[in-house]
Amino acid sequence: MGLRTGDLPDFPWDTLVPFAEKARAYPGGIVDLSVGTPIDPTPAVVRDALAAASDSPGYPTTHGTLDLREAVVDWFVRRRGVRGLDPAAVLPTLGSKELVAWLPSLLGLGVGDVVVHPACAYPTYDVGARLAGAAPVAMDDVVGLLTPESGESADTVADAVRLVWLNSPGNPDGRVLSVDELRAVVDAARATARRTGHRVVVASDECYAELAWDEPWVSAGVPSILDPRVTGGDLTGLLAVYSLSKQSNVAGYRSAFVAGDPVLVAELLEVRKHAGMIVPGPVQAATAAGLRDDDHVAEQRERYRVRRAVLRSALEQAGYVVDGSHAGLYLWVRPEGGGQDCWSTVADLASLGILVAPGSFYGPAAAGHVRIALTASDERVREAAARLTGA
């Protein structure tokens, strides 16, 4: 049976239009903090690499250049503490959202299979499961789901799990999973695979890993699903997804990759070759350059740190509480005391000309919060702060 549009949820951002119109009518105009779209310039090191590779008359390879894949391997060693990754187990993708949406289909999942994703989550995890015909399950306690009580058999849902999505740092809430938490999920998935005889893949969306704000993550770094402390030296069944959109301001380049289990990556590569899912050659060159230069990443992180401090202070002065938000591009916010539906908070802030995203976009568990992005200019962030505090 082919996919029908009725099988998919409504595109949530369309429901924000009336609030955007309300915010635009505010004196001084809208401060749009609803979408995490980078607005700062793309670094010269990345643009120069793109330009240098722009004479690109032939087809690029789906697997990506060896130079790009080696840049990814070097980046994992230098920035994420992951050693021993095979360049063959790296695959460039057309942005990370594409990979998130199509991974269940690329893995051959379908009716009767379950895809688990965080309870408070980016909606594309759910959509990707539906596109494949699989069943999405929103669940934070993955270990509890996959681990039957002593003396009991696992239930039908646990036995049907074929893919577990993790998102650390999380969008929208900025949650960071520790090494112990990651390892517990990996161990539970592998135990389930042994018990059922079916492969259980754990895929970790780590696109905000370079944007840690709180300890211990600032000093120790955000751990990856490919970290040897998590894997025990075995990458079987594990995939890490990363995008340069946030760290390098290249959302328009669609620059991302997936890496991990060599067998899984080889399977994905074969399907993508047939489907023509190829990252343009100049973008591959720009991606390699961006991964090799840490200076521009530090500069961009500092821009976001300053904006985050300004917004957080103003929100707290205005009677809001920032929960979590340990890393990433967002503040996860609710009114002091709680109990208010997210759409009421969206309306309150729109009356000040500030547009934010309702937590309900990210699942029922998020309905008490709003997501506030750091992706606005310094001037607009200061303007939002002034409106919140009445300064």
**pTM as predicted:** 0.93
Report residue 111 as tokens: 């009716």
pLDDT in the model for residue 373: 97
22: domain CATH number? 3.90.1150.10
Q: Where are the alpha helices (H) located in the chain, listed in sequence order? A: 17-24, 44-52, 66-80, 96-106, 124-132, 142-146, 156-160, 179-196, 217-220, 228-231, 245-248, 262-275, 281-292, 295-317, 342-350, 378-389
| Cα torsion through 290, 294, 295, 297, rounded to 10 | 70
Burial class of 27 by CB neighbour count within 10 A (0 to 12, 13 to 18, 19+): exposed
Q: Which residues contact 197 (CB under 8 A, 6 or more apart)?
A: none
Whether residues 281 and 342 share a domain: the answer is no
| Bridging pattern class, strands 31-32 and 354-355 | parallel
pLDDT for the residue numbered 150: 52
Write the CATH number for 106: 3.40.640.10
Angstrom distance (rounded) from CA 228 to CA 59:
36
**R_g of the chain, CA atoms, integer Å:** 21
- Residue 128 half-sphere exposure toward CB, CA atoms < 13 A: 28
Tokens at 156, concatenated: 């039908």
What DSSP string describes 176-222?
A: ---HHHHHHHHHHHHHHHHHHSS--EEEEE-TTTT-B-STTHHHH-P
Structure confidence at residue 339 (pLDDT)? 83
Q: Are 96 and 187 found together in one domain?
A: yes
Which structural domain range is residue 102 located in? 44-293
Total domain count for the chain?
2
At residue 156, the pLDDT reads: 81
* Same domain? 31 vs 151: no
Pair 162, 285 in one domain: yes
Bridge-partner residues for 94, per DSSP? 255
CA distances from 8 to 12, 58, 123 (A): 11, 37, 11
CA angle centred on 290, ends 288 and 293, rounded to 5°: 110
State how far the Cα of 64 lies from the Cα of 314, in Å rounded to an integer: 45
Residue 328 shares a structural domain with residue 372:
yes
Write down the residue that tokens 């002034």 correspond to. Answer: 386
Rounded Cα gap, residues 322 and 173, in angstroms: 10
Quote the pLDDT of residue 154: 52
The DSSP annotation for 300-357 comes to HHHHHHHHHHHHHHHHHHTTEEEE---BSSEEEEEETT----HHHHHHHHHTTTEE-E
Same domain? For 253 and 115 the reply is yes
Nearest to 34 by CA among 45, 19, 49, 48: 19
Residues 25 and 72 in one domain: no
Shared domain check, 113 and 32 = no
Q: How far apart are CA 83 and CA 75, in angstroms?
A: 10
Question: Contact at 8 Å (CB) between 287 and 71?
Answer: yes
Q: Which of 293, 308, 327 delimits the end of a domain?
A: 293
Looking at the structure, do residues 271 and 310 belong to the same domain, yes or no?
Answer: no
Task: Provide the residue type at 301 as one letter.
Answer: R
Q: Domain boundary at 261, 293, 325, which?
A: 293
Looking at the structure, tell me whether residues 17 and 53 fall in a common domain: no
Domain final position from 241, 261, 293: 293
Co-location of 338 and 236 in the same domain: no
pLDDT score recorded for residue 337: 86
- Print pLDDT tens along the chain (391 aa): 445 445 666 677 788 999 999 999 999 999 999 998 999 999 999 999 999 999 999 999 999 999 999 999 999 999 999 999 999 999 999 999 999 999 999 999 999 999 999 999 999 999 999 999 999 999 999 999 998 765 455 568 889 999 999 999 999 999 999 999 999 999 999 999 999 999 999 999 999 999 999 999 999 999 999 999 999 999 999 999 999 999 999 999 999 999 999 999 999 999 999 999 999 999 999 999 999 999 999 999 999 999 999 999 999 999 999 999 999 999 999 999 878 999 999 999 999 999 999 999 999 999 999 999 999 999 999 999 999 999 7
60 DSSP 8-state letter: P
Are 207 and 243 members of one domain? yes
